[in-house]
Amino acid sequence: MYCNQCEQTSKGIACTSVGVCGKKEEVALLQDLLTYVLKGLSEVALAAREKGIETGKADALILEGMFATLTNVNFDPERIADDKIYSFPGLNRRQFPFFLPFST
């Protein structure tokens, strides 16, 4: 396990066995993945906004997803794995052809 997601990290660096907060490795990995996906969605939303495309649903999803990664908020791996971000209907090739490397 390697987790440096909060201010409770061991020695101020990272937790390497079990989180000081009680978080397990599976949850830390899922939270890292969710954060990575949300960063990508944020880039798409910024590009869309520059093109005048409404991004309210994506913005709300990003906020909800980031909140799920906060310390002592969500340590349920199933809830994180089921996060709506992975099936967000707004992310499709037709809406973002200018950003994605493929088109339909």
pLDDT of residue 87: 58
The Cα–Cα gap between 34 and 87 comes to 12
Q: Is residue 90 part of a domain?
A: yes
What CATH code is carried by the domain that includes residue 65? Answer: 1.20.1270.20
Full pLDDT tens readout for the chain, 104 residues: 777 777 677 677 777 777 677 778 888 888 888 888 889 889 989 999 998 988 888 898 888 888 878 766 777 777 776 666 555 555 554 554 544 443 33
**Residue 41 vs residues 8, 9, 65: alpha-carbon distances, Å:** 28, 27, 11
Q: Is residue 88 part of a domain?
A: yes
Structural domains in the chain (count): 1
Supply φ then ψ for residue 15, to 5 degrees.
-90, 135
Q: Is residue 61 part of a domain?
A: yes
- Which pTM does this prediction carry? 0.69
- Domain of 101? 25-104
Q: Is residue 92 part of a domain?
A: yes
Specify whether the CB–CB gap between 103 and 56 falls below 8 A.
Answer: no
